[in-house]
Structure 1
Amino acid sequence: MPIGEFDGAAAMPSGSGGALSAPLYWLYEMGHAALDPSRRLADATKLFFRNPGNPLAHTTYGKSMAAAAELFERTTRVYGKPEWHIDDTVVGGERVPVNIHSVWERPFCRLLHFERGFERAPRRPQPKVLIVAPLSGHYATLLRGTVEAFLPNHEVYITEWRNARSVPLAEGRFDLDDYIDYVISMLHMLQGDCHVVAVCQPAVPVLAAVSVMEGNDDPYVPHTMTLMGGPIDTRVRPTAVNKLAEGKDIDWFRRNVITKVPFPHPGFMRDVYPGFLQLSGFMSMNLDRHLEAHRSLFTHLVKGDGDSVQKHREFYDEYLAVMDLSAEFYLQTVDTVFIKHALPKGEMTHRGLPVDPGKIRRVALMTVEGEHDDISGVGQTEATHVLCPNIPAEDKVHYLQPGVGHYGVFNGSRFRAEIQPRIADFMLSHNGGHGGGKKRAF
């Protein structure tokens, strides 16, 4: 099931590989290995029929053969982690280089800093932004557009989660409690002089992390917390995905979607919710749309419509690149967020201690939702405001973006033109300290 795309993923104790699913990953890898000669032949066929020296390359037959070969190769390929491809940005009308480097690292995540190379300091304040990317099947590069939108006027940091199959068993387990600890550690590293943005799935652990910090009177809480399209309370206008999760108990997930990483991956024998199951869930949700997109790709390849072909390649190179999630994290999140609704019921714990958003008082809150979001229904993120009664009214903002679905909440033209400027204004109005921010109209 597409739990990854819905905004949540989690886990319970390790050692949960179900009897039915244990060999699944091995069979998947064997299938790809068996298709490797065919992929190589398809790639050679594509090159043969696109060679300018081949007279058939200029015929409809030759173009059709090349297009068919590319479609076969692309639909049977294993897509690796995409690159960021962010080399520069424009600050104050000047183009400046961007250097991406890690400033914090743990076994399952590293924190990337998009450092901009200024020749002279910009006049406009440049608030620090910690973007917590979803750990829900796709790589953090899915938020490339989100990062690019913030870069001109912000010092941007983003979580880059590691593929669980690449983490050796010796590095230990990773669950929802660990996720919350990671967020707290990153905020400590930034010393609280920052604004945290949780995109989709991280809304719950980020809210929990800030709640824990406030409960401990931690001086390093962020200035603001922006939650975007997150499953804070999935009882509100539940989507089809929410209902599917509620219809199963946690043992069903443990038996049917957890498997072990096969050799020779570094995470050999680690229990995971595999990326290829995530992908099958993603595709099945909108299968007709994906089939039509690939039919269109064939047509555009034959016609030589380079722009349309490139857009398809860029989108699917990102969309089809998926990662495994640790079984502990996946199962714990499903159980906590989607089955028990522990956070809105006041029953969520971290390391055995209660998580109480009511203790948040110094961190300004903004929530953002999309009108047509079919993953996190309208109202699920806004529910955060009820859970945080001690944040002053002037430090709370909710914004519903008309005309966008789940992806449009954090990417695309409307995000750049309408959502990101509101978030930036909210951060700027609360950049001088904790609490007491100036109220803005949104």
Structure 2
Amino acid sequence: MFYQFYELNHAIMAPWRAAADAMRLAYSNPLNPLSQTYLGRTAAAGLEVFERSTRRYGKPEFGLYETIIDGEPISIDEKIVWRQPFCNLIHFERVLEKPARSDPRVLIVAPMSGHYATLLRGTVEALLPTSDIYITDWIDARMVPLTEGTFDLDDYIEYVIEILHFLGPDTHVVAVCQPAVPVLAAAAIMEGRGDALSPASMTLMGGPIDTRINPTAVNQLAKDKPIEWFRDNVVMPVPFPQPGFMRPVYPGFLQLSGFMSMNLDRHINAQKEFFDHLVKHDGDAAEKHREFYDEYLAVMDLTAEFYLQTVDVVFMQHALPKGEMMHRGERVDTHAIRKVALLTVEGENDDISGAGQTEAAQTICSNIPDHMRMHYVQPDVGHYGVFNGSRFRREIAPRITAFQREHGHKAAAVKVIKGGKTA
């Protein structure tokens, strides 16, 4: 009933929110003499903070319409090229006059951990000038009808394999945070099968490969509670009238409360500063606040089976680093990876995936030749800075592109038949 109560509360607040927004517009209207006074600005600021604090934030857009290549603006055509009930594959097609560029084809696997794939907008934007970018756009579970079936960690791995087959040979995969485990598992399975369409390289960024190393508060929660606690306390059915009515999910609003509680003082101070910026008419600072929280507060539901299996396999059993992970009866053997180059990236101050957790992939993938592996720690950044921000653009993104160019194959030389086997 908790999810239903949340929806009811949101519905009850709707007229108050609409009234607050109307009053904000009235107080900030230049034709209103009060808009030029401290009282008017204070009232308008308070009303906007109230409206933004009680609204539901929908899925943002990527909004990437062009990039710069060799000093020239190049248009971007965003299109869905592959569809499944729980995921769309988006291609950011660069409209090039000379389409014969040899830029690497890159699959970015976005995290399915509460936020939408648009959280990686900065990642995509930084790599677009030098790469042909595709990204997984996961679907909000509350929008998927029960008739579409279930979706768990095994399905996630299968989706990654299917997408790599769809994209073809010489594809480089980048996994940000949570998907580091399923991407590594997919690569191991494909290599174990002798699949010619296994990725040319994989870049794992801030991922929980082995959470026994420098455990964070997130890791500790999974360690302290039995799986039954998560099933009984955070899994709820989607309420009517959503398309996914009665689907068991881990609701986005619960995930958001967990995110915010980790740095509650910081978020409260951010709201106070936003109020002050509005009162002082500091438009640039206020707009930066809006942009960040429009993204941060937009969350999606996860299917219960995916969430519970991930907590159990990744955070409780540590099955992948122990060599005990199974995928539909098939053991995930990371020692089978020999031809996929491996780049791991960590942030020095990451409080989500502790130092060394991602680097553990270098240890368990012991048969990758030394010249095909690299580990990089970015100084002075936390979890978000591993895949976004100025240091990512300046320090990390060029390393990713250079690594992919160094370890790419000549796709034209690889002939492939149906099923992913070499001809």
Assess if the C-alpha contact under 8 Å between 1:135 and 1:201 holds in 2: yes
Report deviation, 1:191.
Answer: 1.1
CA displacement, residues 375-400 of structure 1 (integer Å, 9 cap, x when unaligned): 00010000001111111011010001
User: What is the aligned partner in structure 1 of residue 417 from structure 2?
Assistant: none
Which one-letter code corresponds to 1:195 in the other structure? H
Structure 1 residue aligned with 2:317, among 312, 337, 340? 340
User: What is the aligned partner in structure 2 of residue 169 from structure 1?
Assistant: 146
Determine the C-alpha separation between the residues in 2 that align with 1:297 and 1:361: 51
The answer on 1:432 being equivalent to 2:415 is: no
Determine the C-alpha separation between the residues in 2 that align with 1:269 and 1:433: 48
User: What is the aligned partner in structure 1 of residue 19 from structure 2?
Assistant: 41
CA displacement, residues 88-132 of structure 1 (integer Å, 9 cap, x when unaligned): 001111101101001111000010000011122465x31100000
SS in 1 for 2:194: coil
Count of matched residue positions in the alignment of Structure 1 and Structure 2: 411
Structure 2 residue aligned with 1:79, among 46, 53, 57? 57
Dislocated runs of 4+, deviation >3 Å: none
Determine the C-alpha separation between the residues in 2 that align with 1:92 and 1:430: 23
User: What is the aligned partner in structure 2 of residue 388 from structure 1?
Assistant: 365
User: What is the aligned partner in structure 2 of residue 93 from structure 1?
Assistant: 71
Structure 1 residue aligned with 2:326, among 336, 341, 349? 349
TM-score by length of 2: 0.96
Determine the C-alpha separation between the residues in 2 that align with 1:327 and 1:221: 29
The answer on 1:69 being equivalent to 2:56 is: no
Assess if the C-alpha contact under 8 Å between 2:170 and 2:409 holds in 1: no
SS in 1 for 2:124: helix
The answer on 1:373 being equivalent to 2:347 is: no
Determine the C-alpha separation between the residues in 2 that align with 1:193 and 1:383: 25
User: What is the aligned partner in structure 2 of residue 195 from structure 1?
Assistant: 172
User: What is the aligned partner in structure 2 of residue 102 from structure 1?
Assistant: 80
SS in 2 for 1:152: coil
Report deviation, 1:352.
Answer: 1.4
Assess if the C-alpha contact under 8 Å between 1:358 and 1:388 holds in 2: yes
Q: For residues 235 and 81 of structure 1, do their structure 2 counterparts lie closer, same or farther at Cα, with a shift above 3 Å needed?
A: same
Report deviation, 1:149.
Answer: 0.5
Assess if the C-alpha contact under 8 Å between 1:163 and 1:323 holds in 2: yes
User: What is the aligned partner in structure 2 of residue 233 from structure 1?
Assistant: 210
CA displacement, residues 297-347 of structure 1 (integer Å, 9 cap, x when unaligned): 110001100000000000000000000000000000000000111111111
Report deviation, 1:432.
Answer: 2.5
Report deviation, 1:244.
Answer: 1.2
Which one-letter code corresponds to 1:325 in the other structure? L
The answer on 1:186 being equivalent to 2:172 is: no
Which one-letter code corresponds to 1:186 in the other structure? I
User: What is the aligned partner in structure 2 of residue 305 from structure 1?
Assistant: 282
Determine the C-alpha separation between the residues in 2 that align with 1:370 and 1:339: 23
The answer on 1:282 being equivalent to 2:259 is: yes
SS in 2 for 1:141: helix
Determine the C-alpha separation between the residues in 1 that align with 2:125 and 2:66: 9
Assess if the C-alpha contact under 8 Å between 2:200 and 2:407 holds in 1: yes
The answer on 1:50 being equivalent to 2:40 is: no
Assess if the C-alpha contact under 8 Å between 1:91 and 1:122 holds in 2: no
Structure 2 residue aligned with 1:221, among 165, 182, 198? 198
Which one-letter code corresponds to 1:100 in the other structure? E
Determine the C-alpha separation between the residues in 2 that align with 1:183 and 1:359: 18
Assess if the C-alpha contact under 8 Å between 2:174 and 2:204 holds in 1: yes
Report deviation, 1:51.
Answer: 1.1
Determine the C-alpha separation between the residues in 2 that align with 1:306 and 1:332: 45
Determine the C-alpha separation between the residues in 2 that align with 1:58 and 1:85: 34
Q: Which has the higher contact order (CA 8 A, sep 6+)?
A: 1
Determine the C-alpha separation between the residues in 2 that align with 1:286 and 1:379: 23
Report deviation, 1:433.
Answer: 5.1
User: What is the aligned partner in structure 2 of residue 364 from structure 1?
Assistant: 341
Assess if the C-alpha contact under 8 Å between 2:66 and 2:75 holds in 1: yes
Which one-letter code corresponds to 2:38 in the other structure? T
Q: Which runs of 5+ in 2 are unaligned?
A: 412-423
The answer on 1:409 being equivalent to 2:386 is: yes
User: What is the aligned partner in structure 2 of residue 8 from structure 1?
Assistant: none
Determine the C-alpha separation between the residues in 1 that align with 2:308 and 2:63: 33
Assess if the C-alpha contact under 8 Å between 1:126 and 1:154 holds in 2: yes
SS in 1 for 2:15: helix
The answer on 1:329 being equivalent to 2:306 is: yes
Determine the C-alpha separation between the residues in 2 that align with 1:228 and 1:118: 29
User: What is the aligned partner in structure 1 of residue 219 from structure 2?
Assistant: 242
CA displacement, residues 347-394 of structure 1 (integer Å, 9 cap, x when unaligned): 100001110110000100000000000100010000001111111011
The answer on 1:266 being equivalent to 2:243 is: yes
Report deviation, 1:431.
Answer: 1.3
User: What is the aligned partner in structure 2 of residue 291 from structure 1?
Assistant: 268
Determine the C-alpha separation between the residues in 1 that align with 2:365 and 2:260: 36
SS in 2 for 1:296: helix
Assess if the C-alpha contact under 8 Å between 1:83 and 1:141 holds in 2: yes
Determine the C-alpha separation between the residues in 1 that align with 2:164 and 2:409: 17
Assess if the C-alpha contact under 8 Å between 1:71 and 1:298 holds in 2: yes
Aligned-residue RMSD, C-alpha: 0.9
Determine the C-alpha separation between the residues in 2 that align with 1:432 and 1:354: 28
